[in-house]
Amino acid sequence: MAKILCTISPQSIGLAGMDMARINGSFGTFEEIAELAKSVDTPVLLDIPRKRKKKRTNNYSDKELVQFAVKNKIGYIGVSYVRQASDIWEIREFAAPASVRIIAKVETEDALHNLESIINASDGIMIDRGDLAAEIGIENLPRYQKKIIAKCNQSAKPVIVATEMLMSMVKNTEPTKAEILDIANAIADGADYVMLSEETAVGKHPEHAIAVLKKVIDKIEHKYKVLILAAGSGAGLGSLTAEKPTCLVDIGGQTILEHQLENLKACGINEEDIVVATGKAEEKVREYLRGTDIQCAFNPWWENSNILTTVWLAREHIKQGCVILYGDIIFDRRILKDLLQREEDIVLCVDRNPGDEESEKVVAGEGLMKLSSDYDSLPFPKHKCISREEAFGEFIGLAKFSRYGSLQLIQEMDKIIHTYDFKAFLVYAFEKLVHKGFPCHILDIGDRLWNDNDNLDDINRTRGIIFPKIKMQEINGKD
């Protein structure tokens, strides 16, 4: 889901509805900037002017502003007039040894020539369309905006589209149709943020402008795709899966897949937003889904690969954000409802019971997945070798990814697949993300019911205990 970045000023203190606030470091004293930053409960981006020739009300150097940001725990620095990657490294040196996220503003022709190296050196890109249009010609702006967004998406780096998104609303109460189309096109192309500047810094209707922007995002943005992973052999279920995949096993008047589809529908997810990744007995799944709008994605190597490979093969379906669901689990739909409410980039559903030696165990602290203290020495698959004492719990096979989170996941899966590790578990990609510092958040499912179905004991427990309890809860309205 695209997010909203707003420039704030003393006039807009108390402004609500944005996902991130931008403060222009060219204006105000350090005390005034600090007060502005404290006035919002969202992340803050401090824009440093570098060689700004426009009007300023302070003369702080870039180094002073960066060190101020570090001291005041401002997490993002916007760097103006970037021309080459070395401009980014210079700002990083000002922040050292602390780490802040550097957003490079693309507003020069030189930046376009050095785009890939700038993207690699930065933590994100802002397309400043005002100065960029002046350099390259306004008629060239649409083409380069699309190119920059596409390059950022490929590199899994967030991209902000800025300048005059709702400029008419600085004075007027309603936007123009052209502005709405501009916003829609930026979102459809893959922008992670759309930015309001004068609209919220000095405009007459800042909160209404945010509301308009949010309404467009909600209407234009694709809903999350749901990828159901049903490609495995189900070897542990013996004759039950001799001629069909696990997802089509009966669990008490319903198949696992039917139960999952009911849960998805109850949570507001439409058929056209569901993809079933198939492998074994693929034709039976397709026949089962005949007459629906559900798509299938086939893993032709299902006999010799694992879950990560199946997700990687379906990566085109999940680029805009997704829910990933193991095709052999049953679950209380309230778990999914809670998951869909979370707004972080990656959220994993975890049962505090760490399970047995075959469980996909995770270590966690302060709501985030962590690596085991013995991670480097653990054999593969590492997550199955974590001790019960250290494990926070078991990943249940249900996770949500924002568009940005999906791009990060795809990038890590690419690296793993390129090592020919087709047997890798999906949790291995999560471990890779955690290792490089990307936050994987934990949703503790509490006492809500679920069960995987890897073997006959699991199926018997599902049929005899878990599924009847889940259905009873639904009958009693606890869903």
Amino acid (one-letter) located at 262: E
Residue 285, both tokens: 């799944």
Mean pLDDT, the chain, integer = 95
CATH number at residue 386: 3.90.550.10
Confidence of residue 177 (pLDDT cuts 50, 70, 90): very high
Q: Domain range holding 405?
A: 225-475
My answer on whether 204 and 337 are in the same domain is: no
Residue-level pLDDT at 411: 94
Give the pLDDT mean for 385-389: 95
Residue-level pLDDT at 99: 85
Please identify which residue in the block is written with the tokens 């967030």. 158
Domain count, the chain: 2
- Decide if pLDDT at 277 tops 80: yes
CB of 403 closer than 8 Å to CB of 193: no
DSSP states along 223-275: PPEEEEEE-S--GGGGGGGSSS-GGG-BSSSSBHHHHHHHHHHHTT--GGGEE
My answer on whether 204 and 242 are in the same domain is: no
Q: pLDDT tens for residues 298-349?
A: 999 999 999 999 999 999 999 889 999 999 999 999 999 999 999 899 999 9
My answer on whether 86 and 187 are in the same domain is: yes
My answer on whether 171 and 199 are in the same domain is: yes
Residue-level pLDDT at 224: 78
Residue-level pLDDT at 53: 58
My answer on whether 261 and 235 are in the same domain is: yes
Q: pLDDT tens for residues 84-127?
A: 999 999 999 999 988 899 999 999 999 999 999 999 999 999 99
Residue-level pLDDT at 156: 87
- Decide if pLDDT at 1 tops 80: no
Q: State the DSSP H helix or E strand holding residue 470, giving kind and residue range, or none if neither.
A: helix 467-475
Mark out the alpha helices in 57-176 (DSSP H runs).
62-71, 85-95, 109-113, 115-121, 129-136, 141-154
CATH number at residue 183: 3.20.20.60
Give the pLDDT mean for 423-440: 97
| 331/262 Cα distance (integer angstroms) | 11
CA 233 to chain CA centroid, Å, is: 30
My answer on whether 183 and 299 are in the same domain is: no
Name the 3-class secondary structure at 204. coil
Between 6 and 14, residue with greater pLDDT: 6
My answer on whether 327 and 466 are in the same domain is: yes
User: Which of 189, 219, 249 is the endpoint of a domain?
Assistant: 219
Residue-level pLDDT at 218: 86
User: Which of 219, 246, 270 is the endpoint of a domain?
Assistant: 219
pLDDT > 70 fraction of the chain, expressed in percent and rounded: 99
My answer on whether 67 and 178 are in the same domain is: yes
Give the pLDDT mean for 384-402: 96
Q: State the DSSP H helix or E strand holding residue 330, giving kind and residue range, or none if neither.
A: strand 330-331
My answer on whether 439 and 305 are in the same domain is: yes
- Decide if pLDDT at 54 tops 80: no
Residue-level pLDDT at 396: 98
| 344/27 Cα distance (integer angstroms) | 32
| 465/455 Cα distance (integer angstroms) | 15
Confidence of residue 355 (pLDDT cuts 50, 70, 90): confident
Please identify which residue in the block is written with the tokens 């570098």. 50
My answer on whether 195 and 293 are in the same domain is: no
Residue-level pLDDT at 356: 87
- Decide if pLDDT at 159 tops 70: yes
Phi and psi at residue 276, in whole multiples of 5°?
-105, 120
My answer on whether 18 and 167 are in the same domain is: yes
Upstream peptide bond of 43 is cis (omega within 30 degrees of 0): no
User: Which of 149, 184, 219 is the endpoint of a domain?
Assistant: 219
Q: What is the dihedral of CA 242, 247, 248, 250, to 10 degrees?
A: 100
My answer on whether 255 and 214 are in the same domain is: no
- Decide if pLDDT at 234 tops 90: yes
